[in-house]
Amino acid sequence: MPDRSVVVITGASAGVGRATAKAFAENGFNVALLARGQAGLEAASKDVTDAGARALSIRTDVSQFVEVDAAATKVEEELGPIDVWVNNAMTTVFAPSWDTKPTDFQRAVEVTFLGQVWGTQAALARMRSRDRGNIVNVGSALAFVGIPLQGAYCSSKFACRGFFESTRAELLHEGSHVHLTMVHLPAVNTPQFDWCETTLDRHPQPVAPIYQPEVPAKYILQAALDGRRSKTLGSWNKMLVFTDTLFPGFGNQYAALAAWDGQLTDQPLQNDRPSNLHEPADAERDFGAHGIFDSRAGGFMDPSFLRTLPGTAGVFAQALGRTVAEKRRLTATKRRARAARTRS
């Protein structure tokens, strides 16, 4: 077998990480798979080897720097120097912030945010001395606009974006040829909705438009190869982020109107539903890359989303109207306050 580049992918046993591992294997990389679930890791390793690449699976809790750093050492000993590191691992809690247990909130932040920090630090400890390598941190549209029921996840992704900006500036300052990239994902059909911790009585779902995990996997691979600064996936997400920039507070209004019930199906939550927050859900059962929403997920022009576009546009317009009204109320309050100070 010819020499191949080496990629490390965290959260590689399912979902976007699983699809990304396959994409890299098919494009000339040997793949190190980091995750907690043994069954998921074994199946992901088979995906990689079936694509003609070498696979190295390492059970790793990314919230623990010691485990991440040890995994990096093992990768370089067995596969060779790390060329690309993809920080993808995440977990979340579907619940209002006031119903989220402190220990659950902490765990979600430690995996989703600190997991990216530890992965980046482990990669940089090896890449900076060689002055080469690409690190791809997986972000989200929710790193720009927070939505209800996902306070722990949104907080983590906002923090990930801040860490990315700071660390990238440091690399630029020292003239490093190590590239740091962030790819912001849309809603994706992954098993996280089957196993995320939740306090609610209905099964969680991604907010349309929903994409298959192979879509972000393609762009994560592309970002690793071209070293771009960042990429936000999905025209709808780009529009939402842009509108919130033009009209601060719009994202809050839109999320309040659309994102609570939009994240919940009509299906009651099953009592025997697994949770992967504190323990891996795929330790004994492989969940694969896809979740249960295959019929509603697709590429960038998903027909199921196009059918919902009129209703979505209506909510968009309503949220924009509320934002403008809120701005007007604030302006009127400021004017009254200035007038009162003038009279006094």
Give the catalytic positions in this structure: 153
Residues 133, 177: Cα–Cα separation, whole Å: 7
Residues 158, 321: Cα–Cα separation, whole Å: 26
Cα 215 to Cα 19, 184, 296, 301, 335, distances in angstroms: 9, 12, 14, 12, 49
The angle at the Cα of 282, spanning 134 to 9, to the nearest 5 degrees, equals 5
Residues 103, 317: Cα–Cα separation, whole Å: 38
Q: Is 267 helix (H, G, I), strand (E, B) or coil?
A: strand
DSSP strands (E only) in the chain: 5-10, 29-35, 55-59, 84-87, 93-94, 134-140, 179-185, 187-188, 197-198, 202-204, 210-211, 230-232, 264-268, 297-298
Specify which residues 136 forms β-bridges with.
86, 181
Scanning the structure block, which residue is given the tokens 């849309």?
Answer: 186
Scanning the structure block, which residue is given the tokens 């999320």?
Answer: 255
Determine how many CB atoms are found less than 10 A away from the CB of residue 272. 4
CB-CB contact of 327 with 246 (8 Å): no
Residue 189's identity, in one-letter code, is: N
Record the tokens describing residue 54, joined without a space.
């070498």
End-to-end CA distance of the chain: 84
Residues 24, 53: Cα–Cα separation, whole Å: 9
